[in-house]
């Protein structure tokens, strides 16, 4: 685990992922995720989403779109969902 953490920190530093602009963009995305309950792929979430709904959201944000691209900040969204739900 320590090796994985070290590699993650190196990536963050080399790619400047903690740049204030990127941090602000991630915060905004996560704020919207929390406030809107991520209804893109599930038409209606209850006030307390079920574990199945959260799993579906995690799966959808972990996949590439039709053009082979991931959604911006998908890793942060998946981490948020996995950690807080």
**Residue 42's CB: how many other CB atoms inside 10 A?**
16
Contact between 75 and 63 under an 8 Å Cβ cutoff? The reply is no
* Domain that includes residue 16, residue range: 2-84
Looking at residue 67, what is its pLDDT? 95
pLDDT single digits (tens) 41-84: 555 544 567 888 889 889 999 999 999 999 999 998 899 888 87
pLDDT single digits (tens) 20-35: 999 999 888 888 877 6
Euclidean distance between CA atoms 79 and 40, whole angstroms: 18
Euclidean distance between CA atoms 49 and 36, whole angstroms: 12
Backbone angles phi and psi of 13, in degrees to 5: -70, -45
Split into its structural domains, the chain has a count of 1
Backbone angles phi and psi of 45, in degrees to 5: -100, 145
């Amino acid at each position: 685990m320590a090796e994985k953490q070290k590699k993650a920190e190196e990536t963050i530093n080399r790619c400047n992922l903690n740049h204030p602009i990127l941090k602000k963009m991630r915060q905004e995305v996560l704020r919207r995720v929390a406030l809107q309950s991520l209804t893109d792929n599930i038409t209606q979430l209850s006030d307390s989403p079920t574990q199945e709904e959260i799993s579906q959201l995690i799966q959808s944000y972990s996949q590439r779109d039709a053009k082979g691209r991931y959604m911006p900040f998908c890793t942060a969204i998946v981490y948020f969902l996995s950690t807080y739900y």
